[in-house]
Structure 1
Amino acid sequence: MWAFIHKLGSPKWFYGISQRLQPWFWVVALVLIAVGTVWGLAFAPADYQQGNSFRIIYVHVPSAFLAQSIFVTMAVAGVIFMVWKIKIADMAAAVMAPLGAAMTFISLFSGAVWGVPTWGTWWMWDARLTSMLILLFLYLGVIALRGAFASRDSASRAASVLAMVGVINIPIIKYSVDWWYTLHQPASFTLTERPAMPTEMWLPLLIMVVGFYCFFIAVTLLRTRTEILRREANKRWVRELAGEAN
């Protein structure tokens, strides 16, 4: 187990294995997102209360799931970097932050669009909405910290600490609909209960969620490979790789 972790922490090994894995995640992501989009927007039945406006969940729910999952992954990567000094964990965390911020913004924007026909307003200081807005600020804070220090190590440590502290916001987001009065509906999926919506409505949603996660993995692998080349530019194996490319 420790040998595998040590190997996973090697930029050279990660660069090689990610090159083989990346195309598969791209293909699966594109296929699932295409199927889920067509199924959800064109073939799923309209909601008996919300009509066709409910279809925004096929973007809103996956982006919200991913926004929270990425931040948790960043916090875990921060712990790995701070405790075991594994550089690849910090590289991955660095490239995840912009995607996480984008997914949080998409979740907030799509939720606002959904709120007009459902609640009659674009925004309200609802517990779920407010905690998601805080998540966006946390992402922006992590990104800002990485550019605020002259020393890369100092920037990495500061960003890791903020991610580890800020992860406390994730359970607040998840349980906000249970802890406080909120207009936001409960989670669309749970591990213990069958979804309340019909199969022809929740199955394309599940496909979209899996597709978004595969997209996240593919983008992370791609951007981490680029980050490895940038940080390891002076290493012999990178120079040899550049020589082969030329």
Structure 2
Amino acid sequence: MRQFHIGQTMVPYEIDWSADRETINLAIDDTLTVTVTAPMEASYDDIEETLEAKQEWLLEKLYGLSEQSGPPYPKEFLSGEKLTYRGREYPLHVEESDVRQPELFFDGDTFTLSVHSYDAPSDHVSVRRKRQAVVDWYVDRAKADLQQRCNRYQSNVGATKITVDVCELSGRWGEYENGVVRLNWRLILAPVRIQDYVVIHELVHSTHSDHTDGFWNAVGSLLPDYEERREWLRVNGRTLSI
């Protein structure tokens, strides 16, 4: 078993030499071990160069969404269910009201979903309408809360004139591009310490484009336990779903 380092992240890998291959291929199994399938004539330097070129792919596989456990059982948005906000679960109460569209409210202890009488049943149309009301509330909260988290840390990382865009991101929790930090609205379901990790990660990209030692040192200067937070997100990320 050999080791490849991406910043402070140690990636164990093993080599499967194959006479039938002409190119080097990478694969990751459930134990998060990388298997490098390489032609017999490839050198260790060739393999290291391939791993170097695939850093972003490796990090996405190791810490992204694709390797996590499945999402929770789909909700029907009925009284007695629970909704997650900032890492904590709160009870959901559904009440009939004179509203055209379902509306979600939160008083700090309980979520209340107001619905019209025709949205009370659990048919697929009603569930879809109620779910959209819940998503709308989360997106609105995410825009406010995550903007605050970014404002708090911008000066710490030397970032200026940063625009924050909270939106739907496929396959990732955040990204940075040309002064814009984009954050997945589902982060609002995670504990604040996890939100802070993603926020700081993307803000640091304003001064470090790649995941170099300097990048991880900058993240670590603000979050000494960033590896623990990143691991939490890798393991629990798929549960951040509605």
Note whether the superposition's TM-score is higher than 0.5.
no
In the superposition, the TM-score normalised over structure 2's length comes to 0.27
